[in-house]
Amino acid sequence: MSVLIVGSMALDTVETATGRVENALGGAATFAGMAAALFTRVRLCGVVGEDFPPHELEALSNRGIDLAGVERAAGKTFHWSGVYSHDFTHRETLDTQLNVFEHFHPKLPDDWRDSEYVFLANIHPALQLAVLEQTKRPRLVFCDTMNLWIDSQPEQVLEVLRNVDVAFMNDEEARAICNTHHLVLAGRKLLTMGPKIVVIKKGEHGAMLFSQDDYFVAPSYPVEMLVDPTGAGDTFAGGFIGYLDQTGNHSPQNLRRALVYGSIVASFAVESFSVERLRSVTPGDIAERYDRFRRIIEYH
C-alpha cells in the first residue's frame, strides 16, 4: 500500500487579503504528498535546489513520506508567486521560475517501479510522461494539470490524459481543454479522451465526479477561516487518492467517499498559508469533519 507522486516541490510567495508569505513550502507534490500521507504511505519524486530548507525535507520524511525519489540539485528550487483578488475568486500568477525543474530527468528508484497507485501531479507534462514510462503496469494512474501547460504544451497534456485512469482538473482547465463553458459536457467529453474517471474541482463550490456508471457532486466543506487557497486542488487530489489506496476499493460508492475525503483534507489546507494547517491535522479532525459533512449533505 503506497502512492507514488511526481510533481512540483516549491518555494512559494503568496499574497491574499489576509497577508503574505515569502518562499514558503509549496508545490503540487508537497501538498498532495502531505494529504495522501494522512491515509497511506507516500513515495515522492521531484527535485529541490540548494535553497530548499533541510528541515522541511526532514519534516516530510517524519510524516512517513519516502523521499528516495527526490533529487537535490545544484541551483534554486522551483519558485511560484501569486496574488489573490480580495474576494479570493481570482488568482494571478506573478512569476514562475522552473529553476532546477528545467534540467530535471526523473529517475525512479528500482523498487518503486511497481507502485500500484501513481499520481502525476502538476508539473511539465513531459516529466509526467517520463515517470509513467518507468512504472510497470500500475493499478491506477491519476493526473492533474494547470492552465500554463494546457496553453503551452496542449499535445503533451492530451497524451497524459490518454494514459491515465483518473483525471483531476479545475473548472477553468476543463473548459479550456474541452473548449466549452458547459461543465457537464466537459466532464463527459473528458471521459472520451482517456480517463475512466474525471473529477472537476470548482474551488469553494465543490467538485463533480464523472464515470460511465456514476455522476456525483459534493459541495466543499464550509470553512469559517479562509486564509490561502493555494494548493487546495493538490491537497484534494492527495486526500482522494490516499483514501482510495487505504481502502483498495474502487466501487462507485467508495469513489464518492474519496471525493468527500478529498474535500475535507482540502478544507484544512485553505485555513493557513502554505502547508501550516496540514502539519497538525489528525485522523480525529478528519473524522469529525467527515461526520459533519455527511449531516450537511444528507437528504431524504
Grid coordinates standing for 4?
Answer: 507514488
Count residues near ligand AMP (CB under 6 A). 17
Query: By C-beta, is 34 or 258 nearer to ligand AMP?
Result: 34
Query: By C-beta, is 116 or 171 nearer to ligand AMP?
Result: 171
Residue 95: CB atoms within 10 A of its CB come to 9
Distance of closest approach, residue 236 Cβ to ligand AMP, in angstroms: 8
Query: By C-beta, is 2 or 128 nearer to ligand AMP?
Result: 128
Grid coordinates standing for 212?
Answer: 460511465
Contact map string, positions 203 to 232, toward ligand AMP, x by CB under 6 A? ---------------------------xxx
**Of 33, 256, 221, 267, which Cα lies nearest the Cα of 144?**
33
Query: By C-beta, is 168 or 295 nearer to ligand AMP?
Result: 168
Q: Does 8 bind ligand AMP (CB under 6 A)?
A: yes
Taking CB under 6 A as the criterion, the residue among 173, 228, 234, 245 binding ligand AMP is 234
User: Site residues for ligand AMP, window 145-184 (CB under 6 A)?
Assistant: 146, 148
- From 5-13, 64-72, 220-228, 244-252, give the range in contact with ligand AMP by CB under 6 A: 5-13
Contact map string, positions 114 to 133, toward ligand AMP, x by CB under 6 A? --------xx----------
Contact map string, positions 25 to 44, toward ligand AMP, x by CB under 6 A? -xxx----------------
Q: CA triplet 180, 183, 187: central angle to 5 degrees?
A: 100
Buried (b) or exposed (e) across 231-267, using 16+ Cβ within 10 A? bbbbbbbbbbbbbbbbbeebeeeebebbbbbbbbbbb
- From 20-28, 210-218, 241-249, 292-300, give the range in contact with ligand AMP by CB under 6 A: 20-28
Contacts 24+ apart (CB under 8 A), 140-143: 140/116, 140/165, 140/166, 140/244, 140/250, 141/165, 141/166, 142/117, 142/118, 142/166, 142/167, 142/168, 142/237, 142/241, 143/119, 143/167, 143/168, 143/195
Residue nearest to ligand AMP (CB): 26
Distance of closest approach, residue 80 Cβ to ligand AMP, in angstroms: 4
Q: CA triplet 80, 141, 3: central angle to 5 degrees?
A: 75
Q: Which positions ≥6 away from 44 have C-beta within 8 Å?
A: 5, 6, 9, 29, 33, 60, 65, 66, 67, 69, 70
Q: Does 84 bind ligand AMP (CB under 6 A)?
A: no
CA distance 2 to 70: 16
DSSP-assigned beta bridge partners for residue 44: 5
Query: By C-beta, is 105 or 136 nearer to ligand AMP?
Result: 105
- From 4-12, 34-42, 207-215, 252-260, give the range in contact with ligand AMP by CB under 6 A: 4-12
Residues that bind ligand AMP (CB under 6 A): 8, 10, 12, 26-28, 80, 96, 122-123, 146, 148, 230-234
